[in-house]
């Protein structure tokens, strides 16, 4: 019970002048891991994922930015905006690399694992796949979405796309090869957040006041928990998969036990509804973005005796190779050249 009494003190990241509506963590890279945020202020921001320190702002959108992501190496960023465009940026210099014009508001974007493909979706009800090696070629369009696209993600090593709609329940899964819907995960309310777990086992969704976990390979519903309020976002802890976070209308960031659904902790601090939540790639912290314009980074806290025992028995779970402490150095600004980074990459590849 002591756990609930302790007041968590987050790192508070200021900078956005309007609500923060999307957050995305990069995997761990040789330079550490990064956090990108999308806001209605039209200026996505890149931060050091561990410290929350500001690295840079991507300037160029003329409307609210609804979605943001980084590629596997955190070398490029992508953003989806109400200005009818999706943009791809150089995450080292902040320059726009490509701007893909759409016919309506773009709500979702996602890099494929192989980083050459970008997925977009929005109010047009069309899911497009852009080939970043051939940015001038027309994008591939998969079968029409039944509604306005709210979230989109890749699954099964880029063979499947999952997407939810603003105006109807359910998560639809498309076979990328055929471009056809192969499965629908049924929910009562519109799914406002969908996340594929780091190990590829689960799809985590938030709809209305429930958080659901689906088997990402067989598509069965694994767990469904009712939340204390309408939640907009949920994220599963990536290392052990033993807890998840959810946030929404009540402005609090709730932490729950994955196996029982019991609330473990409740973090208070935001002054407006929580729009987005994500765990860091190593699970040691998690970030929340709110209507109040701030991002708060919360520490997950030490392992319980059970967790420590599980870790000792199984070794680490999940794909993260480099713990945050071993990160060689962190980018302090947009100043590392493309060549320098490529050279480091080669060296890193040689040393692995």
Answer yes or no: is pLDDT of 345 > 50. no
Does residue 73 have a pLDDT over 50? yes
Confidence of residue 332 (pLDDT cuts 50, 70, 90): very low
Confidence check: pLDDT of 134 > 70: yes
Residue 177 lies inside a defined structural domain of this protein? yes
Q: Quick check: is 290 in a domain?
A: yes
Please state, in angstroms and rounded to a whole number, the distance separating the CA atoms of residues 121 and 141. Answer: 10
Residue 258 pLDDT greater than 80, yes or no? yes
283: tokens are 């699970």
What is the CATH number for 96? 2.130.10.10
* The two three-digit tokens of residue 82, written as one number: 């109400």
Query: How distant, in Å, are the alpha carbons of 29, 71, 344 from that of 347?
Result: 13, 20, 5
**Nearest-5° angle of CA 306, CA 280, CA 294?**
120
111 falls within a domain: yes
pLDDT at 316 over 90: no
- Is 70 exceeded by the pLDDT of residue 267? yes
Q: Say how far apart CA 173 and CA 110 lie, in whole Å.
A: 15
In a domain, 164, yes or no: yes
Task: Decide if pLDDT at 239 tops 60.
Answer: yes
Q: How far apart, in whole angstroms, are the C-alpha atoms of residue 282 and residue 110? A: 20
Mean per-residue pLDDT, 204-231: 97
* 3-class SS letters over the chain: CHHHHCCCCCEEECCCCCCEEEEEECCCECCECEEEEEECCCCCEEEECCCCCEEEECCCCCCCEEEEEECCCCCEEEEEECCCEEEEEECCCCCEEEEEECCCCEEEEEECCCCCEEEEEECCCCCEEEECCCCCCCCEECCCCCCCEEEEEEECCCCEEEEEECCCEEEEEEECCCCEEEEEEEEEEEEEEEEECCCCCEEEEEECCEEEEEECCCCCEEEEEECCCCEEEEEECCCCCCEEEEEECCCCEEEEECCCCCEEEEECCCCCCEEEEEECCCCCEEEEEECCCCEEEEECCCCCHHHHHHHHHHCCCCCCCCCHHHCCCCCCCCCCCHHHHHHHHHHHHHHC
Confidence bin at 348 (pLDDT 50/70/90): very low
Count up the domains in the chain and report the number. Answer: 1
Question: What is the pLDDT averaged over residues 83-104?
Answer: 98
> Model confidence at 301, in pLDDT bands (50, 70, 90)?
confident
Rounded to whole angstroms, how far apart are CA atoms 270 and 267?
9
Do residues 202 and 241 touch, judged by C-beta distance below 8 A?
yes
Q: Rounded CA gap, 219 and 242, in Å?
A: 20
In percent, how much of the chain has pLDDT > 70? 84
Does some domain include residue 71? yes
Question: What distance in Å separates the CA atoms of residue 280 and residue 235, rounded to the nearest whole number?
Answer: 10
For the entire predicted model, the pTM comes to 0.86
Query: pLDDT exceeding 90 applies to what percent of the chain?
Result: 81
Give pLDDT, residue 56. 98
Contact 170, 190 (CB under 8 A): no
pLDDT at residue 110, rounded to an integer: 98
Tell me whether residue 333 is in a domain: no
Mean per-residue pLDDT over the chain, rounded: 89
Asked whether residue 241 is assigned to any structural domain, the reply reads: yes
Residue 86 near residue 131, CB atoms below 8 Å: no
Q: Is residue 328 part of a domain?
A: no
Q: Angle 181-182-187 (CA atoms, 0-180°, nearest 5)? A: 85
Q: What is the span of the domain harbouring residue 92?
A: 17-299
Query: Which residue, among 231, 229, 252, 253, has the nearest Cα to 243 in the 3D structure?
Result: 253
**Beta-bridge partner residues of 247:** 233, 253
């Amino acid at each position: 019970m002591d756990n609930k009494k302790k007041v968590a003190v987050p790192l508070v990241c200021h900078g956005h002048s309007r609500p923060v509506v999307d957050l995305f963590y990069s995997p761990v890279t040789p330079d550490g891991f990064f956090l990108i945020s999308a806001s209605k202020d039209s200026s996505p921001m890149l931060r050091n994922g561990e410290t929350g320190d500001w690295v840079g702002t991507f300037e160029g959108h003329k409307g609210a930015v609804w979605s943001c992501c980084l590629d596997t190496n955190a070398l490029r960023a992508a953003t989806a905006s109400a200005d009818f465009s999706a943009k791809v940026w150089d995450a080292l210099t902040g320059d726009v690399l490509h701007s893909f014009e759409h016919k309506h508001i773009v709500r979702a974007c996602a890099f494929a694992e192989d980083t050459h493909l970008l997925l977009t979706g929005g109010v047009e009800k069309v899911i497009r796949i852009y080939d970043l090696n051939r940015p001038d070629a027309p994008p591939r369009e998969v079968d029409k979405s039944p509604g306005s696209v709210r979230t989109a993600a890749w699954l099964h090593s880029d063979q499947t796309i999952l997407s939810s709609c603003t105006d109807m329940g359910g998560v639809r899964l498309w076979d990328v090869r055929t471009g056809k819907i192969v499965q629908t995960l049924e929910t009562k309310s519109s799914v406002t957040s969908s996340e594929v777990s780091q190990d590829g086992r689960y799809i985590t969704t938030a709809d209305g006041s429930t958080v659901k976990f689906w088997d990402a390979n067989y598509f069965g519903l694994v767990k469904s928990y009712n939340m204390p309020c309408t939640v907009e976002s949920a994220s599963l802890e990536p290392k052990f998969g033993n807890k998840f976070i959810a946030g929404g209308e009540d402005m609090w960031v709730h932490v729950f036990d994955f196996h029982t659904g019991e609330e473990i902790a409740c973090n208070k601090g935001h002054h407006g509804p929580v729009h987005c939540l994500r765990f860091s790639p190593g699970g040691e912290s998690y970030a929340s973005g709110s209507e109040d314009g701030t991002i708060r980074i919360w520490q997950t806290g030490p392992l319980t005796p059970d967790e420590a025992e599980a870790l000792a028995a199984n070794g680490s779970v999940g794909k993260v190779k480099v713990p945050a402490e071993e990160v060689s150095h962190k980018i302090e600004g947009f100043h590392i050249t493309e060549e320098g980074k490529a050279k480091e990459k080669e060296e890193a590849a040689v040393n692995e």
